[in-house]
Amino acid sequence: MKTNIPKIGFVSLGCPKAGSDAERILTQLRAEGYEISNSYEQSDLVVVNTCGFIDSAVEESLEAIGEAMDKNGKVIVTGCLGAKKGVVESAHPNVLAVTGPHALEEVMAAVHKNSPKPHDPYTDLVPPQGVRLTPQHYAYLKISEGCNHRCSFCIIPSMRGNLVSRPIGDVLNEAENLVNAGVSEILVISQDTSAYGVDMKFRKGFWNGRPVRTHMTELSQALSELGIWIRLHYVYPYPHVDDVIPLMAEGLILPYLDVPFQHATPRILKSMKRPASSENNLSRIKAWREICPEITIRSTFIAGFPGETEDDFKELLDFLEDAQLDRVGCFAYSAVDGAKANDLPDQVPEEIKKERLSRFMEVQERISSAKLERKIGTMQTVLVDELTTDSNDNIIAIARSKADAPEIDGVVYVQDAEGLTPGDFVDVNILDVNGHDLVGGPPTAA
């Protein structure tokens, strides 16, 4: 049985560059299984590819949009005229979406939104939410690829190139599909989440017919409307990060920040060429906690970076004591083929690196354990990941609180877990600490 395939009308005006944009959009539409129609009346919607070069071209484009609106009524406008702020919208306020030229992904996002291709299990190789490697109830949402920084210990930019952000409409549509497929927690990932949209000059995209800027704060705000847990990873401490903390305080996104600080002394941070290295991270952390006392801060550090003196290292330990971070990973510096840091002078001997790593972990273990101890007696909402049994065959749920990201943080072992299933949210009373994990129970409805 064949399902109804949406038909898309297409009108293309303008120069060869506009023609080539049209070809890419038409190719993508066909590749996704849409039919192309040459009748306004029989199309589910119409894409008008415009020109805005001279006055007569503007007029011709506005007329073409008007004709498509009259004869069909569902119109997506793309091309050069779309880049002229407000021109299309003021002449034709009811168009579905407007994009500039060279905007294949944004046009496709608008098409998907307004005329979704029905999923056909007989012919589609993948479900609408894509193929996932994670359990049914949580998913990673990648918002960009590559990185504009050049940290001296890292070779990612040479492998993956500069930052390329995904259009916000696509990202939000993917998030919506995940929620529709039963996902209860989305983990936002990238190489540098704070930089989302920099490469696009934070341009406006569309989601559910409304404009949304390609920016971390607006992305977080929009994701919060999905009503599930939203967790942000790889956030560099730029000043605009302060704007997402109130969303955490209001319970709109999880009060959890994964901020890879890597070191604490300005000299080493500079030698690492770290983004936001001149920020006063201690006062930022203090300010975040004032706005959202519940916030969990996770970070990673490198001990024994080339040039790190004993004094630098002690400053790093002092930073740990002052910052009181909740979750911390640390690595002894090791050379990566092709990284600039390999050529830095004053490489630290292996045994000193190892000794510093263990001193670092000793300090942080004490801090993290004390923070976990303080949770005993509190009520925590947890998300059940899986079920297991203890040595007496009692059913135990392995769950995570708002403070625990999958794979990298601890878990909450929930006693008396009969009847629970993965993906359930429940409230538990925290009874004990077990290493990096907590023990809680009995579960009550969240």
Binding mask 272-291 for ligand SF4 (x = CB under 6 A): ---x----------------
Give the nearest distance from C-beta 302 to ligand SF4 in angstroms. Answer: 10
Name which of 154 and 412 has its Cβ closer to ligand SF4. Answer: 154
According to the binding rule CB under 6 A, does residue 149 interact with ligand SF4? yes
Cβ–Cβ contacts within 10 Å for residue 446, how many?
13
Helix axes 310-323, 281-291, angle to 10 degrees: 10
Stretch that binds ligand SF4, among 29-37, 110-118, 149-157, 303-311 (CB under 6 A): 149-157
Residues 6+ apart with CB under 8 A from 441: 414, 415, 416, 417, 428, 429, 431
According to the binding rule CB under 6 A, does residue 326 interact with ligand SF4? no
For residue 101, give the nearest of 122, 126, 120, 84 by alpha carbon: 84
Could you tell me the CA-to-CA distances from 322 to 230, 239, 297, 421 in Å, in that order? Answer: 28, 20, 13, 40
User: In this chain, which of 21, 44, 192, 385 binds ligand SF4, going by CB under 6 A?
Assistant: 192
3-state secondary structure of 113: helix
Stretch that binds ligand SF4, among 40-48, 110-118, 145-153, 412-420 (CB under 6 A): 145-153
Give the nearest distance from C-beta 195 to ligand SF4 in angstroms. Answer: 8
Could you tell me the CA-to-CA distances from 300 to 16, 81, 171, 228, 338 in Å, in that order? Answer: 50, 47, 27, 26, 22
3-state secondary structure of 134: coil
Give the nearest distance from C-beta 153 to ligand SF4 in angstroms. Answer: 7
In this structure, the chain runs to a length of 446
Give the nearest distance from C-beta 241 to ligand SF4 in angstroms. Answer: 14
**C-alpha neighbours within 13 Å on the C-beta side of residue 75:** 29
Query: What tokens were used for 123?
Result: 């012919």
According to the binding rule CB under 6 A, does residue 191 interact with ligand SF4? yes
Give the nearest distance from C-beta 121 to ligand SF4 in angstroms. Answer: 38
In degrees, rounded to 5, the angle at the alpha carbon of residue 218 between the alpha carbons of residues 238 and 172 is: 120
Size of the site for ligand SF4 (CB under 6 A): 10
According to the binding rule CB under 6 A, does residue 147 interact with ligand SF4? yes
Residues 6+ apart with CB under 8 A from 446: 381, 425, 426, 427
Name which of 156 and 387 has its Cβ closer to ligand SF4. Answer: 156
Name which of 79 and 237 has its Cβ closer to ligand SF4. Answer: 237
DSSP-derived letter for residue 34 is P
Residue type at position 134: T
Give the nearest distance from C-beta 289 to ligand SF4 in angstroms. Answer: 24
According to the binding rule CB under 6 A, does residue 198 interact with ligand SF4? no
Looking at residues 151 to 170 of the shown chain, list those that interact with ligand SF4 (rule: CB under 6 A).
151, 154, 156-157
Binding mask 202-241 for ligand SF4 (x = CB under 6 A): ----------------------------------------
Give the nearest distance from C-beta 216 to ligand SF4 in angstroms. Answer: 15
Give the nearest distance from C-beta 149 to ligand SF4 in angstroms. Answer: 4
Bridge partner residues of 187 (DSSP): 140, 231
Residues that bind ligand SF4 (CB under 6 A): 147, 149-151, 154, 156-157, 191-192, 275
